[in-house]
Amino acid sequence: MKKLALLTMLFFASFLLVACGDSEDYQADVDDAIARLPVSGLGDTTSDFWLPLDGRHETRISWESDQPDYLRVTEETRERVLEEDADGNPVRVQEQVKLEVNRPEIGEENVNFTLTATVTKGDASATREYYGTVLAEDPADEYETYAALHATASINDLVQVTGIIVARMPVNLYIYDGEHILSIYGPNMDDYELGQKIEVIGQYRLWQTLWQISSVERVRVLEEGLEYDVEDIMIESSVEEINAMVLSKGENPEAPLKHGMPYLVTGYIEDHPDDNWIFRSADSDERLIFTFNQSPESDDILEDYEGQLVELTVHINARITDGVLIFIDKDNYVLNVLEED
C-alpha cells in the first residue's frame, strides 16, 4: 500500500511539474508574441484598417478601443495569406479583424484613442496599449466627372470622387463615372467588389503617366451589385495604336482619360524572360507589357493561353521606359481564341 501511495504521489507531482512547465512556456510565448505584434501607423488615422487575431506561438489576440464611436472593433474577419510556397500555395495564413473609423465632422476636434491588445494562450495573457488619433474630416474638392478632375485639380489636392468599380488589382481599384475610368491606389484594394459604387476621398497624385487618387483617407460603399460589362465600353484598337498614344498629360491634356480604359486588341500572349507577361502584336514585333501588379489569378489566365493568338480586352495602366503597361481584370474581360498554338 505504501508503495502504491508513493507511486500515486509521484504521478501527481510529475503532472503538476509538467503543468507548471507548460504555464511558464505559455507566458514566455505570450510575452514574445505581444512584443512582436506587427502594428504601426496609428498616429494619424483616417480610414478603416485590419489587425491580426492570431499571433506567434499559436497565441490569440483581442482588441479593445476606448473610443468606439470613432474607432470600432467590428465582427468582420478575413483570412490573409502572408506567405506562399513556390507553387503559390498558402504556407502562412493570418486571421484578421476589421476596425472601422468614423472621423469627426469638418470643424470638429480630432479624437485621441487608446487601442488595447490582449494576447492569450491557455491561462497566460499580456496586454499592450497603442495610441493614435482619428483625424477630423478635411474639406475636399468634389468632382462629378473625372474629366473635370483632370482638367482642374492640381497635384496633391484633396479630392472627392464617386464611381462604380469596374476593374481591380491588389493595390488598385478602377472606377467608372459613366464615361471614363479613374485609378484609386492604396492597400487592400482587392477587398472591394466589382459593381460596388463607392465614394473616395484622397490626394490627386501622379505615378509615371498615371494620374490617380492615392493617400486614400476614406472609401465609402454607397451601393452594391450594380451591373457592368466590359464589352459595353471597350474600344477596338491595336498594339501599335496603343504604343503610339501620347499618355503624358503635359503633352496631351486628355491623356489621363485614356488610362484605365479597356481596349480590345489582337495578339499573342507570351512569357517574357524577365517574368513579365507580354502581349505581342499579330502584325509586327511591337508589344505591350502586363504589369507585375495585376492579380495572380490574372497571370493564371495568361498562362492558360500562352502562345495563342487571341482577341483580348486590356486596360492601360501607365507608360514606363520599357513601354506601355497593361493589365486584365480576372473577373471581367473578353478573350477569344483566334489561333491555337
Confidence of residue 339 (pLDDT cuts 50, 70, 90): confident
Say how far apart CA 150 and CA 180 lie, in whole Å.
11
In sign, the C-alpha dihedral spanning 46, 47, 53, 55 is negative
Grid coordinates representing 312? 483580348
Q: What is the pLDDT of residues 179-233, one digit of tens each?
A: 999 999 988 787 899 999 999 999 999 999 999 999 998 888 999 999 888 888 9
Question: Mind listing the pLDDT tens digit for each residue in 49-94?
Answer: 899 999 999 999 999 999 999 999 999 999 888 777 777 787 788 8
Residue 181: which H helix or E strand, with range?
A: strand 181-185
Residue 125 has pLDDT above 60, yes or no: yes
pLDDT value of position 341 = 62
Residue 243 pLDDT more than 90?
yes
Decide: pTM greater than 0.85.
no
> Of 10-19, 126-135, 221-230, 254-263, which range is least confident?
10-19
Of the two residues 155 and 137, the one the predictor is more confident about is 155
Q: What is the DSSP string of 39-99?
A: ----SEE-S-EEEESB-GGG-EEEEEES-TTTEEEEEEEEEEEEEE-TTS-EEEEEEEEEE
Domains of the chain as residue ranges with CATH: 44-134 (2.60.40), 141-223 (2.40.50.200), 234-339 (2.40.50)
**C-alpha cell belonging to residue 118:** 490582449
Residue 41: pLDDT above 80?
no
The confidence score (pLDDT) of residue 189 equals 82
Which stretches of 224-333 are assigned E, i.e. beta strand?
235-236, 262-271, 277-281, 287-290, 309-320, 323-327
For 300-324, the pLDDT digits (tens) are: 999 999 999 999 999 999 999 999 9
Q: What is the pLDDT of residue 34?
A: 93
Q: Where are the beta strands (DSSP E) in 87-153?
A: 90-101, 111-121, 124-134, 141-142
